[in-house]
Structure 1
Amino acid sequence: MEFSLNTFSLVLFVSAIVSAIVAIPAYQRRKVPGATVMFWIAVALTFWSITYGIENLNPSLDWHKFWTLVQFISIPFIPVFWLIFAIQYTQQNKAPSLAKMAPLFIVPASAVLMAWTNELHHLFWSDMQTVMLSGVSMLSVEFGPYFNFYAIYSYTAIFIGIFFFSRHA
């Protein structure tokens, strides 16, 4: 198997280190409103950065597909973590409990399931192939209808989180 460290992977590995560093004080201050969710955001970003960096170390399509699936263990949850962080940080004493916000995780959990079973239905990705970009083998995908639904849900969660912060500023 051919591995090649490249600038893109290196930047992702540095990003993972930065995210891991952010996770440490967030965990230490987990009693502060929003800190526990910030910890999980940092952990998910660390995981994503490491796995995306690993994905781009090898040019084979099977390698890229596998590591893309591994990335999708954490990616779908980041927008919901962001939204919950925004709610907890801006509404501190009146924020709903995590148990009440648990339904927000249904779409991300289903996105993980759809990604890992994609070969059965192709509703998440309809096609995947590798392309060379600045000497790095990258995955090029055509998104399926469920991915589009998941993307709309994710961007909505992000924008609502931004809205909460903008109202709080």
Structure 2
Amino acid sequence: MYISELVIKNFKGYKGTHNFKFKKGVNYLSGSNNVGKSSILDAIECVFGNKKFNISEFRNTATQPSEEVSIEVKITSDSYMPDVIDKIIENNANSTKIKNHILRTYTKTHIRLKITSESINTGKKSSKPGEVLIYSEKSNAFENVTGIDAPLKKLLDVLRINANQSADSEI
């Protein structure tokens, strides 16, 4: 299981919509200072990190307060992901809700998550800005499913090692 895609909109130094694709295995971010490498990691931490973030605080300074700030993450597995999800969240009552939001193709399975500065109303339940939403193929929209935050955060453990840190001590 890996992050296969990250879409950020008006987030930190990125004005407009920017799409990043990742491959299975190790992916490296490299570049000059102040090009946005840390912003990509910050976006992933907003979705999977253990800290609570106010996504509007990350608004690109060149955007209007009325413009949406959002982060979308696609998690992909080449294996049968429900087995993986069962093992990770087997003791959580919301595992069935998550399983109902898995997108399946012939060779892969995906989960799409989104955090936005906007309130989303999908008919069943509206969301507050900054809540983790999960994509439903059935409704073709991101939905606010009560209680999914904790089990979804277990799907990916974010380990961030900056250039001035010792990788050995962090691992």
Give the structure-2-normalised TM-score.
Answer: 0.30
Query: Highest Rg: 1 or 2?
Result: 1
Which of the pair is proportionally richer in strand? 2
* TM-score of the aligned structures, taking structure 1 as reference length: 0.30
